[in-house]
Structure 1
Amino acid sequence: MRRATTAALNSRHRLRRDRGRDALLRVPHAAVAPGVVRTKLAEALWKEHEQAVCAATALGRIGEPADIASAVAFLVSDAASWITGETMVIDGGQLLGDAIPFRPATHAPHG
């Protein structure tokens, strides 16, 4: 993560140096803030207590790398051309806190 951040900052500084501040403002900037994702790097956050992490997430599951990749694909597409200076939180609802009110209601069987 540190290498990616450093590379992004260096790229931004080079763009500013080479083309000036106006060019920098025309380049869309967006960041992704993932929640707990099922990766080797994040394993310490979920492996020993996967059920608790899922229970604390509004969507009821740990994120998959594809969840993050889909968001990044959107951000680099033309569909996101009006988005700049934003951080997209992709956490399945982990920041919502208590996840139970955000889950679909279950219906008791009629009988």
Structure 2
Amino acid sequence: MPQYAAIIYASDVDPTRPEAADMMKDYDEFGAGARAVIRGGAALYPTATATTVRVTGGKGGDIVTSDGPYAETKEALTGFYLIECADLDEAVKVAAQIPGAWDGAIEVRPVVDFGQ
């Protein structure tokens, strides 16, 4: 069966903070309900903890880092799920149940199978 990355773009919050407890309950409920199709995933710390890395001059060039995310946006990349579904239609139905879809967006992308 094909796998899809369900990439969560939502409010930039720290899921480990006590004030995120109610939101995390929603994610726990989603995880329990979608257990049959979830193959992996993770939540991410807020964008303030990000470091952006670039290499100038191509391969072997100078490494340049900057604090913060690659792009400043209203919604942040807050996490992802790897889901295995029969097709895109099923993946969209699963993604619509992810709490981040309720006030943000879920990007669903097929995962390339390199023949593992």
Q: TM-score, normalised by structure 2?
A: 0.30
Higher strand share: 2
- The higher radius of gyration belongs to 1
Q: TM-score, normalised by structure 1?
A: 0.31
Q: Which has the higher contact order (CA 8 A, sep 6+)?
A: 2
